[in-house]
Chains A and B, each alone.
Chain A
Amino acid sequence: MTVAIARTKAEQGFTRNFEAAAPQLPGGPSVAAARRAAIGAFAGLGLPHRRLEAWKYTDLRSALKEALPAAVGAVRAPPGPAQIDNALEELAELDAHRVVFVDGVYAPALSSAATLAGLAFAPLAERLASPEGAAAGGLAAAADEDAVVALNTAFMTDGAVIDIARGAKLAKPLLLLFVRAAGEGRLVTTRNLLSVGANARATVIEAHLTLPGAAAGQSNALSELAIAEGAEVAHLKLTLAGEAESHLATWRPTLAAGASYRAFQFTAGTGLVRNGVALTFAGEGAKADVSGSFLGRGNEHIDTTLVIDHALPGCESRELFKGVLTDRARGVFQGKVIVRPDAQKTDGKQMAQVLMLSEDAEFDSKPELEINADDVVCGHGSTSAEIDADLLFYFRARGITAEEARALLIESFIGEAIDKVDEVLRPALMAVARRRLAQLSR
């Protein structure tokens, strides 16, 4: 028996837009076949909706009204370095290797990381066109059950393929910059493949920005990370893409034994955001910290959904997310921690906290612990509160005006999460956050 499912305008649009874009998307026949399989899978799945537990609070079927045409090929008038620096705010001063993508296409003229000791970089588009084809794009795996990832496979235009050699210690962070420059709203789809060799050390920053004058649109960004034994990776994400942007991101880090992964996601001023992180401990004694902070205003909707899979013994996971919501903004936090039967001595702690600055803001928090081993330590917590009146009085009793006191208290609230970020990056991130905080009505 077949059941005909009514597809929304957006769902039909993605399929139709794929047909239009397919001839221009990079890759040989094996890649094209994988893309076609993915859009087929998407047609079967449709956009995720609220009846799927993982999408309970973020119903894309109703949130995405249309599918924007896919961005393919380089923009006619690429931005200059000054425009990029301007968009990066304080991060522009960071001493980092840059890899820049403009509307989903690698921009070598703006990039500086092509040749570095211990690091091999290639644009994904180039890899997809190579004889390795689909295997190079990480497409060899079976068709995904995740509609967002299926869309990524179908539409991806470019991204960073990075191999960090065994034992290499990168002195400077790697800044992967995804900017929108086009005047029309487009679907921009990128995929990064990071492979970090044993005992290597690296810091990778992803920034998703919209240049002044450019149109926000839809973006789908996927990062796959394979972190080998004993390697240490810090992974930062900034999403500041504009209130008209719908941004769907997926991170899939896999940690080998003894690896260390510290992730931090900062989100502000973006209309609809889904930050999905699916982390797998594939070796014993690895450690992960996945934290972040988000600021929502207007009608913004910011969803953080984590799945931390403790498949093997002796791993440690930490999550701390702190958000500030005002106006009618909505924050979502879903934190699933799976402890498999073999994963004894697991140590997991999770906390999500939100400061509510308006009565119409909403925070939905759903921790989920699935514990199938008996010798584990796991904890979670979630709070949403207004600014503490006693703290406010303490500030005011010292002569600090109510407005300034509120600003300091909000900043300190967010600062507790930002303190997780390496101190080299922290001041720049704090400055970016402070500017966004000043824009929140309180």
Chain B
Amino acid sequence: MGRCPAPLPLLEKIKVMLRIENLRVKLAEEDKLILDGVSLEVPKGQVHAIMGPNGSGKSTLAYVLSGRDGYQVTGGRIEWEGEDLLALEPDERAAKGVFLAFQYPMEIPGVATMTFLHTAVNSVRKQRGEKEFTIPEFLKRARAEAARLAMPDDMLKRPLNVGFSGGEKKRMEILQMAMLEPTLCVMDETDSGLDIDAVRVVSEGVNRLRSKDRAMLIITHYQRLLNYIVPDRVHVMAAGKIQKSGGKELALELEKTGYAEFQSRAA
């Protein structure tokens, strides 16, 4: 019996976790195109940064990846581990491993952080066909993770994000990310509103989660965060398109030159 050669295209598909092809998106309520043909590939194990000026469409890309309402995809596709991501509901995407760290995490009065986390983790585990955590199992993990992020225990008892400082909210996002064990992490302006110490704590949390099985997309306006989370690739986005891609040195270049070149090019 002869051995078949390995089907190369399929292998490549698995290696490239996230493939965005010519994605065009407009606001559902308006006619304005926000993403005007974005193409991007993020292979497994890599961290890519998307940098760009305000209004370039960076956050829209993050929301479209996670399935938020209010956007209409008018063209292109998003393939993720060989699957059509756009066909899935937000909670199905989360179960399949997509995680969005919000720029502005929501405050949920009346829901204890622990209740929220426990519900989320077990919901995701159930959908993944994994055994749900009992309360003691869950508490042990959550406390250990909170300790690594230097979060006081009582934060877990308080209503989710209510009265948390900007830094505490971002740490809470990283805690959720660690607990949900995603394979695609999308981080939307995770450093915004953080002082330098908080950036360090949050970045260390993210770096701990870097792994050969996980892809990350770091969306940021400033280069600062990329001193702590060093990316494999940097993409510049302006006017709804990827204008330029390069290595980590591209971020440093942008820090000097700014985005003017790309904005004028777009205009």
**Could you tell me which A residues sit within 8 Å of B by CB distance?**
389-391, 393-402, 404-405, 408-409, 411-416, 419
Given contacts A398-B120, A400-B123, A404-B123, contact A393 B110 (CB under 8 A): no
**A398 CB contact (under 8 Å) in B68, B94, B109, B110:** B94
Q: A314 CA to B59 CA in the complex, in Å?
A: 52
- Out of A390, A391, A396, A419, which one reaches B90, CB within 8 Å? A396
One of B109, B111, B115, B120 near A399 (C-beta < 8 A): B120
Q: Are A404 and B119 in contact (CB under 8 A)?
A: yes
Complex Cα distance, B121 from A314, in Å, reads 50
**Neighbouring A residues of B91 by C-beta, 8 Å:** 396-402, 405
List the A side residues contacting B93 at CB < 8 Å: 397
By a CB distance below 8 angstroms, the chain B residues around A409 are 108, 111
The 8 closest A-B pairs by CB, nearest first: A412-B110, A399-B94, A399-B124, A396-B90, A398-B120, A415-B110, A394-B106, A412-B111
A389 to B124, CA, bound (A): 21
Question: Taking the complex as formed, is B89 at the interface, i.e. its CB lies under 8 A from any CB of chain A?
Answer: yes
Rounded to whole angstroms, the CA-CA distance of A394 and B67 in the bound complex is: 11
Bound: A400/B159 CA distance, A: 17
A-B contact pairs, 22 of them (CB 8 A): A391-B106, A393-B69, A393-B90, A394-B108, A395-B116, A397-B91, A397-B94, A397-B99, A398-B91, A398-B94, A398-B123, A398-B180, A399-B91, A399-B120, A400-B91, A400-B120, A402-B91, A404-B119, A408-B115, A409-B108, A409-B111, A411-B110
CA distance A395 to B121 in the complex (A): 11
Q: How far is the CA of A397 from the CA of B184 in the complex (A)?
A: 13
B39: min CB distance to chain A, Å: 24
Q: What is the chain B residue whose CB lies nearest that of A391?
A: B106
Closest to B115 in A: A408
- Asked if A416 contacts B110 (CB within 8 A), the reply is yes
Most buried by B among A390, A396, A397: A397
Asked whether B66 is an interface residue with its Cβ less than 8 Å from the other chain, the reply is yes
Known: A393-B68, A397-B66. 5 other contacts (CB 8 A): A395-B120, A397-B94, A397-B99, A398-B123, A409-B111
Determine whether the beta carbon of A408 is less than 8 Å from that of B94.
no
B114 within 8 A of A: no
Give the distance to chain A from B169, nearest Cβ to Cβ, in Å: 12
Q: How far is the CA of A391 from the CA of B116 in the complex (A)?
A: 12
Tell me whether B227 is interfacial, beta carbon within 8 Å.
no
The answer to whether A390 and B106 touch (CB under 8 A), given A398-B180, A412-B111, is yes
Distance, CA A388 to CA B66, complexed state (A): 18
Chain B residues whose C-beta falls within 8 Å of the C-beta of A393 in the assembled complex: 68-69, 90
Contact A394 B124 (CB under 8 A): no
Interface centre among B95, B110, B115, B176 (most CB of A within 10 A): B110
Given contacts A393-B69, A393-B90, contact A400 B111 (CB under 8 A): no
Residues of A within 8 A of B216 (CB): none
Residues from 125 to 139 in B contacting A, C-beta threshold 8 Å: 127
A394 B105 Cβ-Cβ under 8 A: yes
Instruction: Give chain B residues whose Cβ lies under 8 Å from the Cβ of A402.
Output: 89, 91
Chain A hits for B111, CB < 8 A: 408-409, 411-412, 415
Q: How many residues does chain B have at the interface if contact means C-beta atoms less than 8 Å apart?
A: 30
- CB contacts (< 8 Å) of B176 on chain A: these are 398
Q: Which residues of B contact A391 (CB under 8 A)?
A: 106, 108
Per the bound structure, the CA–CA distance linking A398 and B106 in Å amounts to 12
B102 within 8 A of A: yes
CB of B234 within 8 Å of the partner chain: no
* Chain A residues with CB below 8 A from B127, complex form: 399
Q: Which residues of chain A have C-beta atoms less than 8 A from B115's C-beta?
A: 408
Does any Cβ of A come within 8 Å of B64's Cβ? no
Does the CB pair B100–A399 fall under 8 Å? no
Question: Which residues does B use to contact A, with CB under 8 Å?
Answer: 66-69, 89-91, 93-95, 99-100, 102, 105-106, 108-111, 115-116, 119-121, 123-124, 127, 159, 176, 180
Q: Which residues of A contact B89 (CB under 8 A)?
A: 396, 402
Question: Chain B residue with minimal CB distance to A389?
Answer: B69
A391 to B160, CA, bound (A): 11
Residue picked from A398, A408, A411, A419, most chain B C-beta under 10 Å: A398
Q: Are B90 and A397 in contact (CB under 8 A)?
A: yes
A343 to B76, CA, bound (A): 68
Give the residues in chain B near A404, CB-CB below 8 Å. 119, 123
Q: Are A399 and B110 neighbours in the complex by a CB distance under 8 Å?
A: no
- Please name all residues of chain A whose beta carbon is closer than 8 Å to the beta carbon of B105 when the two chains form the complex: 394
List of A residues within 8 angstroms of B69 by Cβ:
389, 393
Shortest C-beta distance, A411 to chain B (Å), equals: 7
Q: Bound state CA distance, A72 and B67, in angstroms? A: 62
Closest to A408 in B: B111
A401 to B180, CA, bound (A): 15
CA distance A400 to B116 in the complex (A): 9
Complex CA distance for A221 and B200, rounded to whole angstroms: 62
B62 nearest CB across to chain A (Å) = 10
Asked whether B100 lies within 8 Å of A397 as measured between CB atoms, the reply is yes
On whether the beta carbons of B123 and A412 are closer than 8 Å, the reply is no
Chain B residues within an 8 Å CB radius of A416: 109-110
* Min CB–CB distance A173 → chain B (angstroms): 24
Contact in complex: A396, B67 (CB < 8 Å): yes
* In the bound complex, CA of A368 to CA of B60 (Å): 45
Contacts of B95 on A, CB cut-off 8 Å? 399
In the complex with contacts A396-B89, A396-B91, A399-B91, A413-B110 CB distance below 8 A: yes
A394–B176 Cα distance when bound, in Å, is 12
When distances are taken between beta carbons in the complex, the residues of chain B under 8 Å from A397 are 66-68, 90-91, 93-94, 99-100, 102
Task: Determine the chain A residues whose CB is within 8 A of the CB of B116 once the complex forms.
Answer: 395, 398, 408
CB-based nearest A residue for B63: A393
Q: CB within 8 A of A412: which of B68, B102, B109, B121?
A: B109
Residues of A within 8 A of B124 (CB): 398-399
B89, B105, B116 interface centre (most CB from chain A within 10 Å) = B116
- Minimum CB–CB distance from B247 to chain A (whole Å) comes to 31
CA distance A413 to B127 in the complex (A): 27
CB distance from B42 to the nearest CB of A (A): 19
Please, which residue of chain A has its CB at the minimum distance from the CB of B90?
A396
- Smallest CB–CB gap between A421 and chain B, Å? 14
- Structural contact, A408 and B109, CB atoms closer than 8 A: no
Chain B residue nearest in CB terms to A394: B106
